Every structure is written in structure tokens, then in C-alpha cells.
Amino acid sequence: MRLMFLGDIVGRSGRTAVIDAVPVLRRRLGLDFVVVNGENAAGGFGITQKLADELYAAGVDCLTLGNHAWDQRELMTTIDDDPRMIRPANYPPGTPGRGSVILDAPGGRRVLVINLMARLFMDPLDDPFGHADRLLADLAMPRDVDAILVDFHGEATSEKMAMGHHLDGRVSLVVGTHSHVPTADVHILSGGTAYQTDAGMCGDYDSVIGMKKEPAVLRFVRKLPTERLTAAEKPATVCGLVVETDDATGLAMRAEPIRVGGRLPSAWPDFQALHEPVDAAD
């Protein structure tokens, strides 16, 4: 199966780039399943159901969230009715929404998507490692599902790497989100799980992690409050990775970064039988 994960969408620029790119990437790469972190899609702060529906219409199969999940308060009243959007599973009991979901893929296959949030330099949520173990206690590849993707939303690279090794051999992919900067460590761990410390953002990189750079820089220079941060608006780079799994095991056979459009140098999966690279506007 061929899976794509895209990092945090930031603002209108990121949304536009993802909505334009996903249909093209699905066709050119022969993708079976697409997961995107959408927690900053609404102006850099949260997501609304309307924006989620626009992303689904473009070909996104599942949306994950993170520490900005509730910035748009309306989501607390709609997320329970959206079977394709998940928030971190280690939020306290009683939090709206769900932390994992099994969704259908072509050919009668099924994909489990899990969303977890780290704890170092983040909100003090429940233990994500224990939550991952409990979620996987009764589900295994390929017996119950054909692939398992884990979005681990966090700051510390060490914690993200630890989660990758903790789940190695039990899931298809562990990928970090939240830092908005793509790391250069896409690889397959020794047990067969694809891993990247951070997928990066789908946003304008002429910015400070997706926000307009002038007020963001002043916050560091003056150490005083500035105007409210707003999402940068120049053309976005779509960032993430593509993973090809073994149908017999669910584990990764290939994992490659993908970067399309915007300011960052492009990266295109070097899989056999793929077509030529494509601009997001194609």
C-alpha cells in the first residue's frame, strides 16, 4: 500500500497548497491513503469543520490534530460527528472526539490512524507511550488492519525518536509533527517501521514557523508583547513523506520525503514506476 502523510497545515496559504496538491499527488504517486495534520489550518490556530470538509473533498482521508485542537471552540461540538478527524488519544477522559480511527482504503484494506501528543515542553497530558500500547494491545498487522500510522505531536526530538523505537515493528509509520520544520531523517527503523522526527509544515516558509516574521521576530528581540501573530501568506511548501508498505506484513518497504512548491528545495519520492515530479499547481 502507498501512504502519504503531510505535516501541519498553517493558514490559508497552507490549505490552498494542500488542496491543490493532493489530487495531483494521489494520481501521480498512486496513493492509497492520505493523512494530514490540520491543527493550524484556521489562520494558524485550530481548524473548523468547514475547512476539514474542504480538505476531505480534495482527497485527504484523515485529519490529525495536536495542542491547538481546541483553538476554534466550535470544533468541540462537531468533532464527535466527524469519523475522519482525530485528536491526541492521551487527552483526559471525557475530551470530545477520539484518538484513533480505522478507515477503509482501496482493495478492501483498512488503515488504523493514531494521534498522540508528547509531554516534554508540552501540556502535561497522560502517558503517550502507555496509550499507544493499550491501543495496539488488541490490534495487529496484518491480522486486523493492513497499515498503522502514528502522528506523534511534540517538541522534543528525543521523545519523538523514543516513540519511534518503542513502536518499531508494530506499526507502519511513526511521524512527528508540531515543530513545523522538516527533519532530514526519513528512514526505516530496524524492526520495519518508517520514521521521521518531524514532517514539517504545509505553509509559507518565508516566516517564523508559518507566522508573519516581523511581529514574531520582535517578540524575541524586545521580549515584549507584540501584535497578534497571523499566518504568513506567500506560496506554501507542501511537506511530508510517502511510505510504501508490504501487504504481507504492513511494515514499511520504502520511505521517502516529499516537498512540493513554495520556497524549500523540492523532494520527490524515488520509487520505481512513479511519474516525474510535479509542481503543486499542476
Closest CA to 154 of 19, 37, 52: 37
Q: How far apart are CA 229 and CA 213, in angstroms?
A: 9
CA torsion through residues 12, 51, 241, 166, sign: positive
**How far is residue 7's CA from residue 38's CA, in Å, rounded to a whole number?**
8
Helices (H), 34-98: 49-58, 75-78
Does the active-site annotation cover 68?
yes
Continuous segment of H or E residues that includes residue 130: helix 128-136
Catalytic one of 68, 131, 178, 180: 68
* In contact, 53 and 13? CB cutoff 8 Å: no
Backbone angles phi, psi at 260, to 5 degrees: -135, 130
**Three-state DSSP class for 223?**
coil
Helix, strand or coil, per DSSP, at residue 254: strand
User: Which residues does residue 243 pair with via DSSP β-bridges, in sequence order?
Assistant: 3, 255
> Residues 55, 19: contact at Cβ < 8 Å?
yes
Q: Which residues are catalytic?
A: 68
